[in-house]
Structure 1
Amino acid sequence: MTHTITARAARAGLLAAAAALLLTCASPAQAVAEREPANDWLLLTVSQGDAQAGVRPGAPSGVPSGATRGALLLCDPPRGHARAARACAELDATDGRIADIPLRDTHCPMIYAPVTAHARGQWRGQPVEYTQVFPNPCVMAARTGSVFAWDTQG
């Protein structure tokens, strides 16, 4: 009879341990699933000059038009450049459409120093492809908000 009580107690203990182990293992998996990013990402580049043409005027064929800078913008949580949180909020407001970001009220110099902005990636599961040549960096910032402003303050 003592053996029967011990076996029952052992079985009950094993069941309780198995249930505790199951709950313990399930909780971190659920927490990881909740923290998994929404896969919103944009590979951003800004090139000096008119990168659509791909060459400098008067340069030998195949010579790139200017230096290129880039950043990877991630939005869950915002990271990738100094103004990532603001850029992600602007993209959220336009469903990831950079061209729909409201024009900033600013005064830009009438200096022709073209820059080409390019973004490729995905937003809320939809592909994003954006390329635009602007007459200068000020106009680019006025029309694209914080998206391409990874190395500026404010």
Structure 2
Amino acid sequence: MRHRRHAILATVTAATLLLAGSATATAQAAPAPAPEGAASLYAPSALVLTVARGQEPLTATVERAVTLSCAPRAEGTHPDPASACKELASVQGRFAELTAGPSNRTCTRQWDPVVVTAHGVWKGEPVEFATTYGNACEMAGSTNGSSVFAF
């Protein structure tokens, strides 16, 4: 009788361990599905940046344009997406803070306007940014080495 109790106890213990192990394996093998409608765990950050000749963003002639995506990783046609994304993150995507600095260059007063724009989304929020400089020298000086519009 004693051997029979040990055999039953051993069988129950083995079955319990087997069930617990398979439940753990099932839980590990089948990750929880993403919430309905969610394509990613990251808020999108995808932008089109332009440098154009002219005074008004809507009528200026685009000379250069790049794409920049910062989430989940830095990529796009921008020549240095990692630096540009890092700079944008440091100002929480507020482009005006990148372009508002005083010029550190001596430039002529020649009027040859340049417009920089950014359109898209930053961390899920819409972005519509444009600013006009008197000429390319002023633009380069006002961005103070920022890589965001350096393309």
**Corresponding residue for 2:52?**
47
Q: Distance between the aligned counterparts of 1:16 and 1:141, measured in 2? A: 63
Offset, 1:27: 8.3
Identity %: 36
Tell me which residue corresponds to 1:79: 75
Distance between the aligned counterparts of 2:42 and 2:137, measured in 1?
32
1:18: Cα distance to partner? Answer: 4.3
Q: Following the alignment from structure 2 to structure 1, what is the Cα–Cα distance between the partners of residues 42 and 141?
A: 29
Partner letter of residue 92 of structure 1? Answer: A
Normalized against structure 2, the TM-score is what? 0.64
1:69-121, Cα deviation, whole Å (9 max, x unpaired): 21121123222212222222222222211111244623344443322111112
Asked if 2 retains the 8 angstrom alpha-carbon contact of 1:41 and 1:122, the reply is yes
Report the Cα offset of residue 11 of structure 1.
8.3
Corresponding residue for residue 66 of structure 1:
61
Please list the CA deviations of residues 24-82 of structure 1 after superposition, one character each: whole Å capped at 9, or x if unmatched.
232897xxx9x84331222212222234462xxxxxxxxxx534421121123222212
Q: Aligned equivalents of 2:110 and 2:50: distance in 1?
A: 21
How many aligned positions are there? Answer: 134
Question: What amino acid is aligned across from residue 69 of structure 1 in structure 2?
Answer: R
Q: What are structure 1's unaligned runs of at least 5 residues? A: 55-64
Q: Distance in 2 between matches of 1:69 and 1:89?
A: 21
- CA change 1:83–1:103 in 2 (3 A) is farther
Question: Kindly tell me: are residues 28 and 143 of structure 1, through their superposed partners in 2, closer, same or farther at Cα, counting changes over 3 Å?
Answer: farther
Q: Distance in 2 between matches of 1:99 and 1:129?
A: 11
- Gapped regions of structure 2 (runs ≥ 5): 1-9
- Scaled by the length of structure 1, what TM-score is found? 0.63
CA distance in 2, matches of 1:79, 1:137: 26
Q: Determine the C-alpha separation between the residues in 2 that align with 1:125 and 1:117.
A: 21
Using the alignment, how far apart are the partners of 1:13 and 1:104 within structure 2? 71
Cα distance in 2 for partners of 1:104, 1:124 equals 29
1:72–1:112 distance in 2 versus 1, CA, 3 Å: same
